[in-house]
Amino acid sequence: MQSDNQSKWATIRISRMMLDRLDGFRESHEVGEPSRREAGDYLLSQALDEEGY
pTM of the model: 0.42
- In the prediction, which pLDDT does 34 show? 66
Are 21 and 39 in contact by the 8 Å Cβ rule? The answer is no
- In the prediction, which pLDDT does 31 show? 63
pLDDT digits (tens, 9 = 90+) for 9-36: 888 888 888 887 777 777 766 666 667 7
d(CA 24, CA 9): 23
Would you list the DSSP string of 3-29? HHHHHHHHHHHHHHHHHHHHHHHHHH-
